Structure 1
Amino acid sequence: MTVSFVCRTESALPRERLFDLARSIDMHLETQADAGERAVAGVTSGLIGQGQEVTWRARHFGVPLTMTSRVTSLHFPESFTDEQVRGPFKAFRHVHEFEQTARGSIMTDRVEFTAPFGLLGRIAERLVLRRSLERLIAVRGLYLAGLPDNPQA
């Protein structure tokens, strides 16, 4: 069974800048420093692009995890999608959408995932995973949205 959620983040940044921050490996590492996340294969720094992959290693819930994601769709500066090709989920898909507004932009994150392990996975989805992933995506969005409109940030 697939679990999904949506996070919307408003920012004063232009959507082009927010788009690039969202696909920056370096920014991802910065936002996931608490989990000790590292990019260990594929694109390990800079901006990830269409068809490219990155392999992440991190510790979540005290468990070491490795996940490889591929950018399966990229339409600058409107949207991009990354999907797990190997990793802890039965399926994981993250659609990032960007809309220009009068005061900056809005980033919408649409996440769909399915945990492994049948019934135990479904229980984990409901009790822990959904809330934890939603919080991770929301906090990451707020971090990116709060960065200055400066290419060095």
Structure 2
Amino acid sequence: MITFTEELWIDAPPERIFGLSLDVDAHTGSMADSGERVVAGVSSGRLAPGDTVTWQARHFGVRLRMTSHLPEYRAPSYFVDEQLSGPFKRWRHEHHFTDDDGGTLMRDVITFAAPLGPLGRLAELAVLRWYMPRLIRQRNAYLKRVAES
């Protein structure tokens, strides 16, 4: 299992960043390189407590699906998305938004584990430990551009 944290300061209020982080269209825009799209559940607008969404994307040439939900939600400072089914043995993404000097400090804490026992652990160490933070940084840079425009 791997846990990592990414932080980014954004020149916009927490309410704006919180909303963008829950926006399905903003998410698909931020993941355009992998062709991510919704195939079930909430397909546009802002996710809310109790919602589920199934994403489909292509990573490493493989089409993957992941269904997630929001088990924790405290607007506008915090929410969690967790995998209900999909490619990971475990996926938990904590989103934190703190009012900071006229903007927002956005902090993501991601914990994940690959399936397949020792083979999955090898994939975590060889590939996923650098690939997943890069993917989150890409997403966050997109949200920053949108929020600050």
| Map of 1:100 onto structure 2 | 99
Paired residue for 1:142? 141
CA distance in 2, matches of 1:92, 1:137: 13
Q: Percent identity?
A: 45
1:89 aligned counterpart, secondary structure: coil
Task: Check 1:82–1:148 CA distance in 2 against 1; reply closer, same or farther (3 A cut).
Answer: closer
Deviation at 1:149, TM superposition (A): 5.0
What's the offset of the Cα at 1:142? Answer: 1.6
Distance 2:117 2:148 in 1: 45
> Is the counterpart of residue 119 in structure 1 residue 105 in structure 2?
no
CA distance in 1, matches of 2:115, 2:60: 16
Pairs within 5 Å for 1:38-49 = 38-49=37-48
**Partner amino acid for 1:16?**
E
SS of match in other structure, 2:118: helix
Give the match for residue 23 of structure 2.
24
**Helix, strand or coil: the match of 2:67?**
strand
C-alpha displacement of 1:103: 3.0
Residue of structure 2 in register with 1:12 after alignment: 11
Residues 51, 73 of structure 1: 8 Å contact kept: no
Provide the C-alpha distance between the structure 1 equivalents of 2:136 and 2:115, rounded to a whole number of angstroms: 21
Distance 1:11 1:149 in 2: 7
**Number of corresponding residues:** 149
Please, which runs of 5 or more residues in structure 2 have no aligned partner?
A: none
Task: Measure, in 2, the Cα distance between the counterparts of 1:148 and 1:119.
Answer: 41
- Tell me, in whole angstroms, the C-alpha distance in 1 between the residues paired with 2:148 and 2:122: 42
Q: Flag structure 1 segments of 5+ consecutive residues without an equivalent.
A: none
When normalised by structure 2's length, the TM-score is: 0.97
Establish whether residue 60 from structure 1 lines up as the match of residue 59 from structure 2: yes
What TM-score does the superposition give when structure 1 sets the normalisation length? 0.94
